[in-house]
Amino acid sequence: MPANRSQLVTFQRVVLTSWDVACWGLALLVLMIGRYNFRFPEPSQWRLTLMYLVGAIVLQVVIGVLTKLYRGRHEIASFEEVANLALLVMGIGLVLGIPFTMLEPSFPNGIAMTVPLGALVLMLAGRFLFRSLQRTSSGQVETEPVLIYGAGPAGQQLARMVYYDPDSPYEVVGFIDDDPAKRNLHLYKTKVRGGRTELLGVAAKLGVQTVIMAVNTAPRSFTREVASLTERHGLKMLVMPPVREMIGGKASLDQLHEVDVADLLGRSQVKTDLGAISGYLTGKVVLVTGAGGSIGSEIAKQVHRFNPSELVMLDRDESGLHGTQLAIYNQGLLDTPNIVLCDIRDRAALDRVFVDHKPDVVFHTAALKHLPLLEQYPLEGWKTNVQGTLNLLRAAQTHGVSTFVNISTDKAADPTSILGTTKRVAEELTAWFAGHEEGKYLSVRFGNVLGSRGSMLHTFTSQIRADGPVTVTHPDVTRYFMTIPEACELVIQAGAVGKAGEVCVLDMGEPVKILDVVRSLIARSGKEIEITFTGLRPGEKLHEVLFSEKEDYHPTEHQLISQVTVPPLDPAIVDAETQPTVIRIEELANIRADRSQSAASASSDEKDEQ
């Protein structure tokens, strides 16, 4: 079968080349009949005309082979092939036409001006006829009528793929676009049939059950509205992947998927300054703590693309490290020096890691993050989120790290929980080191990420799979959401644009009502599932904030990243609190470096009184 396929492709390319050669002769023949009636005033004009024709054919074949036009570089009748073919033919027309008309006065000017254009028209006609016949010959493939929402570049690219793919399971019967200027625009044998208000009527009239969203730049609120509309009326909605997930920046039909929560809650495509990122990552030793976790593993994957001299991945979770190594290197032997099993609570072990690898850049993602669990075990949160971060900061200070990025959380703004308080202290410790070291030490604060290990979406999905009930803390609770790749992309960007000592806050878009998310998940499951409300847990907020009321934020070079200044916290104060109580942990969030010495002595007095 492969041999037959190869022979068929070779035969098609030979036929294509022969057709292009013939087109030059046909174009000349038409001109000779229509313009000259096969009668030249001078006999020498016949010789010049034949020389022109032979030269054009030779150049067409030679250049076509050298540029791989006839060797399968482009799909037949694709935009790329048509563009390259037009450049080739017009180029040949200029290369031959100029010398022939200037150096040979008897050469008919009409040939130089019209034959290349006529040959190109015939070449294109042959290609489009081939594609039409190819699609007709595969008519046994049953196609489903679909509407494409969006008649812009993304929608047109999708329609082109559907139209020219003989095995496409879809047939585009219309476009939906809210731009009045595009009404009745004709594209690929169909047209724009209206906007959102006409969507349901058009779908019913044309027998459409599937709508494909093809608006990559649309805000997620827009996608949610359209998805809600299609859901309510029993239509299936497919979406194109984000640009970052496309191979070579191009989508393929097998990448279309049913709309999911990530499509509804994630941001639109994030724009990054690749030059700024590569400037501090390429050729450097980069250490990622918590590399076995959801955020750490994604940061490691993205950093790997910038070709660091070494990517050191540290975690205390063996299974997590195995998964990350497998995802990046396609092997999980765990036998390379850059895979480091270490607990950030162990200062001596951390110091050995820095001695062995000498990292230039550190992304610190290791943390305990589950709010209700830390409310029960606050000292565990203190040991990892505060003392572990301090161990890492000191190791970075000792070994001359140039960039230190501490991953924080929106719960550190006006903290009301142990999680938020410990992460706030970590931000303030990072700010202190920024003021005492030459390197750039900063924090990055963002909200919930979709699909992270142990996230609420995993909980909801599991409860739905078990036929419920689905538990929600409060009917009005809202949260910010971002997909893991989006968040990590901005974290890496923040390392380039952020200023030392600052907290970079990622733009999370608009907060989303959790109850709406749950109802959407249940609707997609097709089940009738009960929702129960359990009440807010201790330390949990009804609505999260990204900035506290006391924080003044200002923009950075990147439109999705803002900065706030947090007061630094002297590490001596943390050292004084070897076994802090819950109350003391919360008090420490309000202690500032400008009175660190007096606060440190007061802390031991207060302990004695307690």
Listed in sequence order, the residues at least 6 apart from 214 whose beta carbon sits closer than 8 Å to its beta carbon are 148, 149, 150, 152, 154, 155, 157, 158, 240
Q: State how far Cα 181 lies from the chain centre.
A: 30
What is the C-alpha separation between 36 and 521, in angstroms, rounded?
73
Q: How many CB atoms lie within 10 A of CB 413?
A: 26
* Closest by Cα among 287, 312, 293, 303 to 364: 287
Q: Which of 447, 495, 456, 488 is nearest to 290 (CA)?
A: 488
In the three-class reduction of DSSP (H, G, I as helix; E, B as strand; rest coil), residue 306 is classed as coil
- Does residue 389 contact residue 430 with C-beta atoms inside 8 Å? yes
Instruction: Tell me whether residue 68 is exposed, middle or buried, using C-beta atoms within 10 angstroms of its C-beta: 0 to 12, 13 to 18, 19 or more.
Output: exposed
Q: 365-387 burial string, b = 16+ CB within 10 Å, else e?
A: bbbbbebeebbeebeebbbbbbb
Q: Letter for the amino acid at 280?
A: Y
CA atoms within 13 Å, Cβ hemisphere of 35: 15
Can you list the positions of beta strands (E) in 366-480?
Answer: 403-407, 440-445, 448-450, 470-472, 478-479
Distance of alpha carbon 407 from alpha carbon 324, whole angstroms: 18
Question: Among 298, 297, 398, which Cα is nearest to 347's?
Answer: 398
CA distance 88 to 478: 58
- Environment class of residue 287 by beta-carbon count within 10 Å: exposed (0-12), middle (13-18) or buried (19+)? buried
CB 508 within 8 A of CB 481: yes
Nearest one of 562, 568, 569, 567 to 547, comparing CA atoms: 562
How deeply is 170 buried, as exposed, middle or buried, from its count of CB atoms within 10 A (0-12, 13-18, 19+)? buried
CB-based contact 265:338 (threshold 8 Å)? no
153 vs 136: CA distance, rounded Å: 26
User: CB-side exposure of 475: number of CA atoms within 13 Å?
Assistant: 2
Distance CA 567, CA 425 (A): 10
Q: Which two tokens stand for residue 223?
A: 């996608």
- Active-site residue among 182, 301, 411, 423? 411
- Contact between 85 and 123 (Cβ < 8 Å): yes
**Known active-site residue 411:** yes
Cα separation of 177 and 161, whole Å? 19
Provide CB contacts within 8 A for 516, sequence distance 6+. Answer: none
Distances (CA, A) of 583 to 567, 589, 593: 20, 11, 20
At 362 the three-state DSSP class reads strand
Q: Which residues are catalytic?
A: 411
